[in-house]
Amino acid sequence: MTDTRSYHHGDLRVSLIREALDVARSSGPDAIGVRELARAVGVSPNAAYRHFAGRDEIIRAAANAAQGELARGIRASVARMPDDLSAPDASVQRLRLIGLGYIAFARAEPGWFTLAFTTVDDGATERIVTLDDEVVEPFQVLLDALDAMVAVGVLSPERRAHAEWPCWASVHGFADIVARGPLREQPDAVVDALAAHVVDTVIAGIIG
Amino acid sequence: MTDTRSYHHGDLRVSLIREALDVARSSGPDAIGVRELARAVGVSPNAAYRHFAGRDEIIRAAANAAQGELARGIRASVARMPDDLSAPDASVQRLRLIGLGYIAFARAEPGWFTLAFTTVDDGATERIVTLDDEVVEPFQVLLDALDAMVAVGVLSPERRAHAEWPCWASVHGFADIVARGPLREQPDAVVDALAAHVVDTVIAGIIG
DNA sequence: TGTACATCAGTGAACGCGCGTTCACTGATGTAC
DNA sequence: TGTACATCAGTGAACGCGCGTTCACTGATGTAC
């Protein structure tokens, strides 16, 4: 925490982002402030402007980091997959675990989850965004899992088309309900059961 | 807008909430501020405290109003149902329209949608919330639609159990993606097609 | 019908605060010769 | 190997701002007799 190096900090950019994650974790993205971060890191407020154009850019960077954490959470969940499954079963189980990991992350780290989904408009109005522009780490994991299901024959190419949206939507929606909505205060057992039900229902819907 | 009555405003409480909705509509819930509302309504800042305990209470009231707007949007969507359907078909179509209405509202009014899902913690920590405590207008519409499907024989009681969660989660998630996430800037045609796909997929999942 | 008075719904001024950002600056670092 | 100097990464002070909330108050309303 206390770095004895004076004046030149070492890696202020990284420290600020790390601190932003810390703040968001406990108080949500809105609590991230330039002065507060600088204070926590032990640097004058304006030093931050050496590394970021302004507050929004810090938040964007932190949001990116939060997406990385989310991806980590999902990967950790996937890692819990039993290794004695047939290839088709494994591909479905993988999709399940991705969904459950996403939800578990939102529940365990609501602040990070909210941050990961935060977008601050940069001045660029009118820009046309292709979907692919915004493909972000956790989403890519989902796409790959669905492709794998096709490769292994569990999912027909027709049913594969756009299947990422029902998957993402339902899991994201439940995660949001769990992180910020009415299920926030429910006991884990209830939430876990409902989460499994949500995930299994969508999978049934896409597989047909 | 301009009320000539001086001093006694008439219905300040309602005016403040209405103004809060206006602000949230264009700038999101975070932009709601006591002073700004008072200014817009033409009243001194502290007058608001005659009607609300503080900013949080105003936001809670406004969130409630936004939920009402959401319910209106859903009802408007449901009203578009053709009247020549068989009872079973109608019950399914009703569920579809609820989902599509929810999504359409989020897309048309992202500020209100965000506000409707905003919760500010009141001091009451540790409170155990039963699910039923929080049943809110739009959610009730969903529950009723599912019950009607059972009544009409489209949905078995076993499949009915907890079906509200996959439904709400997927629709809410897609709405969030559309209102605040990466699909914000996509053309309507794309969004509409994906929305329909999302809704149809969950319905397939719950009906089996 | 008229008046006294309690109650209600506002006002005006101030408190204390922390924010994002910019300015002109200085201390530290590293590179060229 | 030593020194000059450009560059980089910080500092200190200030600007201007708007916020939420509280205090002691006053103007308007309605009710009892």
- The model's pLDDT over B60-96, given as tens digits with 9 standing for 90+, comes to 999 999 999 999 999 999 999 999 999 999 999 999 9
C-alpha span between A59 and A42 (Å, rounded): 19
Give the predicted TM-score (pTM) of the model. Answer: 0.94
A197–B177 C-beta distance less than 8 A: no
Q: CA angle at residue A198 from A197 to A201, to 5 degrees?
A: 80
Angstrom distance (rounded) from CA A138 to CA A120:
19
pLDDT of residue B121: 78
State whether residue B102 sits within 8 Å of chain A by CB: no
How far is the C-alpha of A203 from the C-alpha of B3, rounded, in Å? 56
What would the DSSP string read from start to end of B122-161? Answer: -S-TTPPPPGGGG--HHHHHHHHHHHHHHHHTSS-HHHHT
Nearest-angstrom CA–CA distance, A194 and A138: 22
Q: A146 with A167: CB under 8 angstroms?
A: yes
Assess A166–B contact: CB distance below 8 Å, yes or no: yes
CA dihedral B135, B140, B143, B148 (to 10 degrees): 150
Q: Which residues of chain A (48-67) touch nucleic strand D at CB < 7 A?
A: 50-51
- Tell me the per-residue pLDDT of A8-50, one tens digit each, with 9 for 90 and over: 787 999 999 999 999 999 999 999 999 999 999 999 999 999 9
Q: How many CA atoms lie within 13 A of A159 on its CB side?
A: 18
pLDDT (average), residues A142-147? 98
User: Shortest Cα distance from A192 to chain B (angstroms)?
Assistant: 12
Number of inter-chain CB pairs under 8 A, A vs B: 115
Instruction: Please count the residues of chain B.
Output: 208
A180-194, B126-140, B144-158: the lowest-pLDDT one: B126-140
CB–CB of A170 and B166 under 8 A? Answer: yes
* Contact (CB, 8 A) for B131 and B88: no
Q: Which has the higher per-residue pLDDT, A8 or B140? A: B140
Residue type, A125: T
| pLDDT tens column, B29-41 | 999 999 999 999 9
Exposure string over B96-128, b if 16+ CB within 10 A, otherwise e? bbbbbbbbbbbbebbbbbbbbbbeeeeeeeeee
pLDDT at B190: 97
pLDDT at B60: 97
Query: Closest protein residue to D23 using CA and C1' atoms?
Result: B46
| Collapsed DSSP state (helix, strand, coil) of residue B201 | helix
CA B29 to chain CA centroid, nearest Å: 14
Report the C-alpha gap between B114 and B67 in whole angstroms: 10
Facing residue for A169 by CB, picked from B128, B131, B170: B170
Mean pLDDT to the nearest integer, A86-99: 98
Give the up-direction half-sphere exposure of residue A196: CA atoms within 13 A in the CB hemisphere. 6
Exposure class string for B53-79: b at 16+ Cβ within 10 A, else e? eebeebbbbbbebbbbbbbebbeebbe
Write the single-letter amino acid at B178.
V
Mutate to test the interface with A, among B183, B198, B203 (most CBs of A within 10 A): B198
* CA A88, A92, A98, A101 torsion-angle sign: negative
- Tell me how crowded residue A19 is: count the other CB atoms within 10 A of its CB: 19
Q: Given this model, what pLDDT does residue A5 score?
A: 52
